Amino acid sequence: MKKLAIAAFLVSTSLTMGASVAQEAKQDLTPAQQTENRMILETARNLVSYGEAKSDPLALVTAAKMMASVPGRVLADDAKGEAGADKAPAFDIEGVLKKAEDIAQGDELITKVAGDVRTMAEANSKAVCYWEYYCYYNGWCEYAYACW
């Protein structure tokens, strides 16, 4: 009986400790930080459009770097993160970087920055919090920050 009580205590302690570690992993942002990061994402989104329209590799890698720099995962336009950000498809940063490298045709600067951005984006792929592109009924869209 004593061994059972000790085992139960150890199990409950480890579960509680795991929950507190998971809570610390969430990165809560202040409203000001959320607004700043929302503006970064909107600017990056517009920069991707510009880079694709003008075949500008520097604009594309800059946009990908901006997307990868915000805390949390940036989900694809139609993705929902309620089931967990790790189960939803992410914004295609790799696709943007490949397009930039194709346009740049071996430019060393673009290749180096693209490699750095890939490293940053990989770190965000494990994030608990995410940015979802949400559109309202009137057609106005924005990025919404959430943690699960």
Mean pLDDT of 96-117: 94
Asked whether the beta carbons of 146 and 81 are under 8 A apart, the reply is yes
pLDDT digits (tens, 9 = 90+) for 15-32: 333 333 333 345 688 999
Asked whether the beta carbons of 141 and 135 are under 8 A apart, the reply is yes
Q: Torsion over CA of 81, 18, 37 and 62, rounded to 10 degrees?
A: -90
- Output the average pLDDT for the chain: 82
Strand order in the sheet with 129-135: 73-74, 129-135, 141-147
**pLDDT reported for residue 86:** 78
The contacts of residue 147 (CB under 8 Å, 6+ apart) are 26, 27, 28, 72, 128, 129, 130
Determine what percent of the chain is predicted with pLDDT higher than 70. Answer: 82
Mean pLDDT of 79-94: 85
Band (pLDDT 50/70/90 cuts) for residue 42 is very high
| Tokens describing residue 109 | 């600067």
**pLDDT reported for residue 66:** 96
Which pTM does this prediction carry? 0.76
| Number of Cα atoms under 13 Å in the Cβ half of residue 143 | 26
Can you say whether the dihedral through the CA atoms of 71, 73, 140, 97 is positive or negative? positive
Give the domain ranges of the chain.
33-147
**pLDDT reported for residue 74:** 92
